[in-house]
């Protein structure tokens, strides 16, 4: 299991629990953690409280070499602030530890809160913080904090770069891989409380009785850790597995079929979370096949799960082959008119950007366009467009940029975070989802440093006000220990890495110019695919006149979907943030940017800068030789070596290609593309 494996292959994630090296701290911590009280609403043992006990016993045994005495108490009624919010916890301790002082106490509004408090306490210890006078109180800002696994039933993971699916459908339900337990621990340690087991490009078989028994087995493994399971629902399931002739959402037989199916699911899995649905998107079936709307489709399923307390996450990732308008406008065009038409247990799930998980996008304007609808954010943890599991790209800064973006939807300060968290009634149920980067690789995520993305996503779902620096610092200390140069080097590497990927792949607001199909590496020349809006030339619009997609009023006018304050600023060639310039503007090659350089020269320098930054990352990493174990040192060193070659390929491919339009020489400082 996670905590007992001793090797440095990365299996233990951030829950390594290696013996604390700082002897002073360790000897002070041991008495502080000698007696621990768990104060719960019932004061009774449960599988979740047992999980917290086990975690404390194992972790403290390993970290301190000491076994705590753990006792259970009933939380005094209404005496505590934690009682007001679900799964809230507090950890408190006396100002000094003597045999007569009161014990360290974890109190919570639920048993699950005790588990969350346990992991918070352990994180506190793993990051070396003082244990006296503790009064940590915390509660989740968003109710449903989900991983979305794009896992097929045959074990393949769509856009997965870390091996196969963790779910062993053939062996379930009888044979349950111990890894399920470790997966649940890792998720719970971050406060994640739900998992969608199956791919959004769904297979209706998952809803058949034999598979539901397997799903129930997984749900049983995850339950003590507060992880509820959800499934993707294929809209045509009533035809494919139900024997009906139609899946029309307004057909009473279809509604009856879903009601019966859902009742069957809840008999097998009483705490089933609900469905995630991709409909009428990229060839998936949906209500529009019957001339019905997304709201009709979502409400059909919402009505089926509502009596059981379930929710429907209906994805807004839609763009139609019959619609010739700018692809990034289409979600608003289709969804905004449906505002207010969705049931209360439907959450429209929107990707952070209007296109598709690019290294940098502006936020999706749909977040500001549906004031009467519950909206969820969908982020991608797996690095489909950011070097997959070969390159380092720490995504917390990208997610921060998104969460902090001001939509101006209800005036200045209406950040994305404020629109998706559960702080107002209208937003409940509130949901945030991340497309998982996990798989059967021993280290779970392929690139060992990509564990930091799973970690960062989870931490942000619990508390979206955490800074990237804080998250990087925590993760590094928990994963690599406290050596000051190790911590400063790795956090620096993490924090700069996403911008580096942007620089060598799609700087200045360029987007979607990757290789076709697998999406790894450059492909700005891709011009013929099944659909124009799958090509690269559709997005970069390179020509003798310049580069970039004109989305102002003289172009596709996608900007009009944003609030006037944003449309005005981004619509101005001089005021538009330069990191989104070519997303919104078609810019002449000789146009001068803020640096005083022309667009062409600046573009060349950004690509070069990306390469130079990877070289600096390699040097920084090499300085850690001997300071961390060889196994992880080499694993990352090899990936950074490859990342430099990849960055060079991006630079050379893009610059040589764009030069055929710019017809300008490379400025000084650019290595001649090979
Ligand atoms: C991307 C990705 C697909 C995925 C789709 C989605 O386009 O490449 O594999 O199915 O997003 O989010 O539905």
Q: Is 319 in the pocket of ligand 1 (CB under 6 A)?
A: no
**Residue where one domain finishes, among candidates 138, 160, 189:** 138
Q: d(Cα 402, Cα 419) in Å, to the nearest integer? A: 12
Q: Does 326 map to a domain?
A: yes
* Residue 80 binned pLDDT confidence (cut-offs 50, 70, 90): low
For ligand 1, say whether the CB of 323 is within 6 Å of any of its atoms.
no
Q: Which two tokens stand for residue 294?
A: 């997304």
528 in any annotated domain:
yes
Q: Whose CA is nearest to atom 11 of ligand 1?
A: 356
Active-site residues: which are they?
A: 282, 356, 384
Q: Which of 321, 414, 422 is nearest to 87 (CA)?
A: 422
Crossing angle (nearest 10°) for helices 252-268 and 209-222: 40
Same domain, 130 and 149: no
Quick check: 448 and 636 in contact, CB under 8 A? Answer: yes
Length of the chain: 674
Q: Which residues pair with 144 in a beta bridge?
A: 431
Distance of alpha carbon 436 from alpha carbon 479, whole angstroms: 19
The CA 199 to ligand 1 mean position distance, Å, reads 10
pLDDT value for 1: 45
Residue 82 scores a pLDDT above 80: no
Q: How far is the CA of 306 from the centre of ligand 1 (A)?
A: 28
The mean per-residue pLDDT over the stretch 309-319 comes to 97
| Cα gap 313→345, rounded to integer Å | 9
Quote the CA–CA distance of 238 and 289 in Å, as a whole number.
Answer: 14
Neighbours of 367 (CB within 10 A): 25
Give the CA distances from residue 5 to residues 10, 12, 256, 509, in Å, rounded to whole numbers and listed in that order: 10, 7, 49, 44
User: What does the pLDDT average to over 529-543?
Assistant: 95
Structure-block tokens of residue 654? 């893009």
294: domain CATH number is: 3.20.20.80
Position 160 in a domain = yes
How far apart are the C-alpha atoms of 674 and 672, rounded to whole Å?
6
What are the C-alpha distances in Å from 30 to residues 10, 23, 178, 270, 597? 27, 11, 30, 41, 60
CA–CA gap between residue 609 and residue 600 (Å, rounded): 14
In a domain, residue 670? The reply is no
Contact 420, 142 (CB under 8 A): yes
Q: Does residue 317 have its Cβ closer than 6 Å to ligand 1?
A: yes
349 and 439 both lie in a single domain:
yes
Backbone angles phi, psi at 411, to 5 degrees: 85, 175
Can you tell me the mean pLDDT for 573-587?
98
Taken in order 190, 193, 197, 199, is the CA torsion positive or negative?
negative
Beta bridge partners of 74: 40
Cα(671)–Cα(674) distance, integer angstroms? 9
Q: Are residues 190 and 328 in the same domain?
A: yes
Distance 278 CA to ligand 1 centre (A): 10
The answer to whether residues 228 and 193 touch, using CB atoms and an 8 Å cutoff, is yes
For 192-229, the pLDDT digits (tens) are: 999 999 999 999 999 999 999 999 999 999 999 999 99
Q: What is the domain count for the chain? A: 3
Could you tell me the two tokens for 266?
């809840």
23: Cβ contacts below 8 Å, ≥ 6 apart: none
The reply to whether ligand 1 has any atom less than 6 angstroms from the CB of 200 is: yes
Buried b (16+ CB within 10 A) or exposed e, 483-493: eeebbebbbeb
Cα(309) to centroid(ligand 1), Å: 29
Q: Is 73 domain-assigned?
A: yes
pLDDT digits (tens, 9 = 90+) for 39-79: 999 999 999 999 999 999 999 999 999 999 999 999 987 65
Residues 131 and 187 in one domain: no
User: Can you read off the two tokens belonging to residue 84?
Assistant: 């007001």
pLDDT at position 100 over 90: no
How far away, in angstroms, is 364 Cα from ligand 1 center? 16
Do 433 and 414 lie in a common domain?
yes
Which tops the pLDDT comparison, 425 or 327? 327
> Where a domain ends, among 465, 495, 527?
465
Q: Ligand 1: does its nearest atom lie under 6 Å from the Cβ of 158?
A: yes
Distance CA 29, CA 49 (A): 23
Report the CATH number that the domain containing residue 611 is assigned in CATH: 3.90.1330.10
CA distances from 362 to 549, 586, 615, 641 (A): 14, 16, 28, 31
Q: What is the CA(158)–ligand 1 centre distance, in A?
A: 8
Strand, coil or helix: what is 40?
strand
Is 346 part of any domain? Answer: yes
Whether residue 460 lies inside any domain: the answer is yes
The mean predicted confidence, pLDDT, of the chain is 96
Average pLDDT over residues 458-464: 98
Same domain, 341 and 380: yes
Distance of CA 194 to the CA centre of its chain: 13
Residue with tokens 């700005």: 524
Pocket lining: 457 vs ligand 1, CB cutoff 6 Å:
no
User: Which atom from ligand 1 is nearest to the alpha carbon of 384?
Assistant: 8
81 against 163, higher pLDDT: 163
159 lines ligand 1 (CB under 6 A): yes
Token pair for residue 300? 């059909």
CA distance 445 to 388: 10
Helix (H, G, I), strand (E, B) or coil at 129: coil
The pLDDT of residue 3? 47
Give the whole-angstrom CA distance, residue 93 versus residue 341.
50
Query: Regarding beta strands 104-108 and 89-92, do their DSSP bridges make them parallel or antiparallel, or are they unpaired?
Result: antiparallel
**278 CB near ligand 1 (under 6 Å):** yes
The answer on 428 and 509 residing in a single domain is: no
DSSP state of 176: -
Same domain, 439 and 516: no
CA–centroid distance, residue 659 to ligand 1 (Å): 31
Of 411, 437, 465, which closes a domain? 465
- Residue of 356, 437, 514 to mutate, ligand 1, most atoms within 8 A of C-beta: 356
Does the residue 186 lie in any domain?
yes
User: Whose C-alpha lies nearest to ligand 1, atom 10?
Assistant: 201
Query: Is residue 210 domain-shared with residue 128, that is, in the same domain?
Result: no
Task: Please give the C-alpha separations between residue 387 and each of 69, 358, 394, 548, in angstroms, as whole numbers.
Answer: 47, 11, 11, 23
pLDDT of amino acid 115: 98
Cβ-contact 615, 559 below 8 angstroms: no
Cα(433) to ligand 1 centroid in Å equals: 14
Q: Which of 317, 320, 327, 516 for mutating ligand 1's site (highest number of atoms within 8 Å of CB)?
A: 317
The confidence band for 86, taking pLDDT boundaries of 50, 70 and 90, is confident
Q: Are residues 160 and 130 in the same domain?
A: no
User: Are 120 and 156 in a shared domain?
Assistant: no
Mutation probe of ligand 1 site: the residue of 156, 196, 200 with most atoms within 8 A of C-beta: 200
Q: Which CATH number characterizes residue 79's domain?
A: 3.30.379.10
Where in the sequence is the domain holding 219, given as residue range(s)?
Answer: 144-465
Whether residue 433 contacts residue 376, with contact meaning beta carbons closer than 8 Å, is answered with: yes
The response to whether residue 356 sits with its C-beta less than 6 Å from ligand 1 reads yes
Q: Say if residue 83's pLDDT is above 70.
A: no
**Contact at 8 Å (CB) between 104 and 133?**
no
Q: What is the pLDDT of residue 4?
A: 44
Enter the tokens of residue 277: 């649905």
- The model's pTM: 0.98
Q: Are residues 149 and 114 in the same domain?
A: no
Taking CA atoms, 131 is separated from 25, 95, 472, in Å, by: 10, 9, 22
Q: Which residues contact 376 (CB under 8 A, 6 or more apart)?
A: 144, 313, 347, 348, 349, 350, 420, 430, 431, 432, 433
Q: Whose CA is nearest to atom 7 of ligand 1?
A: 356
- Band of residue 252 on the pLDDT scale cut at 50, 70, 90: very high
């Amino acid at each position: 299991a996670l905590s007992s494996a001793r090797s440095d292959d990365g299996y233990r994630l951030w829950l390594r629990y290696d013996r604390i090296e700082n002897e002073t701290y360790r000897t002070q911590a041991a008495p502080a953690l000698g007696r621990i009280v768990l104060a719960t609403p019932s004061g009774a043992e449960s599988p979740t409280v047992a999980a917290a006990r086990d975690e404390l016993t194992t972790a403290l045994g390993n970290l301190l070499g000491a076994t705590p005495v753990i006792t259970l108490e009933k939380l005094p009624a209404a005496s505590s602030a934690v009682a007001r919010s679900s799964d809230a916890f507090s950890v408190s301790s006396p100002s000094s530890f003597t045999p007569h002082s009161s014990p360290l106490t974890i109190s919570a509004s639920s048993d699950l809160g005790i588990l969350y408090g346990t992991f918070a306490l352990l994180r506190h210890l793993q990051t070396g913080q003082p244990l006296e006078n503790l009064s940590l109180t915390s509660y989740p800002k968003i109710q449903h904090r989900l991983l979305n696994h794009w896992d097929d039933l045959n074990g393949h993971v769509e856009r997965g770069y870390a091996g196969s699916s963790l779910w062993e459908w053939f062996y379930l339900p009888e044979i349950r891989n111990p890894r399920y337990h470790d997966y649940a621990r890792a998720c719970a340690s971050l406060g994640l409380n739900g998992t969608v087991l199956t791919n959004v490009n769904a297979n209706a078989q998952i809803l058949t009785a034999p598979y539901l028994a397997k799903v129930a087995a997984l749900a049983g493994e995850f339950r003590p850790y507060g992880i509820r399971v959800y499934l993707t629902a294929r809209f045509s399931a009533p035809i494919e597995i139900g024997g009906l002739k139609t899946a029309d959402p307004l057909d009473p037989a279809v509604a009856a079929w879903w009601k019966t199916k859902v009742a069957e699911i809840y008999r097998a899995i009483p705490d089933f979370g609900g469905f995630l649905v991709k409909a009428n998107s990229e060839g998936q079936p949906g209500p529009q096949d019957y001339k019905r709307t997304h709201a009709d489709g979502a409400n059909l399923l919402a009505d089926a799960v509502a009596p059981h307390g379930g929710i429907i996450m209906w994805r807004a990732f839609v763009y139609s082959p019959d619609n010739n308008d700018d692809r990034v406008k289409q979600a608003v065009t289709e969804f905004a008119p449906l505002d207010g038409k969705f049931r209360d247990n439907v959450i429209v799930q929107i990707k952070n950007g209007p296109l598709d998980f690019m290294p940098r996008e502006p936020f999706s304007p749909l977040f500001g366009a549906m004031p009467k609808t519950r909206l969820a954010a969908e982020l991608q943890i797996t690095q489909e467009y950011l070097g997959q599991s070969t390159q380092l790209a720490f995504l917390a800064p990208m997610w921060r940029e998104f969460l902090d973006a001001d939509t101006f939807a209800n005036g200045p300060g209406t950040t994305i975070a404020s629109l998706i968290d559960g702080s107002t009634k209208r937003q409940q149920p509130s949901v945030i989802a991340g497309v998982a980067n996990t798989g059967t690789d021993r280290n779970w995520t392929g690139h060992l440093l990509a564990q930091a993305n799973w970690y960062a996503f989870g931490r942000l779902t619990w508390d979206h006000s955490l800074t990237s620096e804080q998250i990087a610092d925590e993760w590094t200390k928990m994963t690599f220990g406290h050596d000051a140069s190790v911590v400063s080097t790795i956090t620096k590497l993490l924090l700069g890495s996403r911008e580096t990927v942007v620089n060598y792949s799609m700087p200045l607001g360029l987007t979607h110019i990757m290789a076709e199909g697998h999406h790894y590496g450059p492909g700005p020349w891709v011009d013929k695919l099944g659909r124009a809006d799958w090509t690269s030339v559709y997005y970069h619009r390179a020509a003798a006149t310049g580069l970039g997609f004109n989305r102002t009023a003289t172009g596709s006018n996608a900007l009009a979907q944003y609030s006037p304050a944003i449309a005005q600023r981004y619509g101005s060639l001089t005021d538009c943030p330069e990191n989104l310039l070519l997303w919104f503007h078609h810019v002449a090659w000789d146009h001068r940017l803020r640096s005083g350089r022309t667009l062409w020269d600046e573009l060349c320098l950004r690509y070069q800068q990306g390469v130079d930054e990877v070289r600096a990352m390699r040097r920084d990493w090499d300085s850690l030789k001997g300071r961390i174990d060889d196994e992880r040192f080499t694993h990352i060193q090899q990936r950074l070596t490859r990342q430099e070659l990849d960055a060079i390929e991006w630079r050379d491919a893009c610059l040589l290609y764009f030069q055929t339009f710019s017809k300008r020489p490379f400025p000084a400082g650019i290595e001649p593309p090979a």
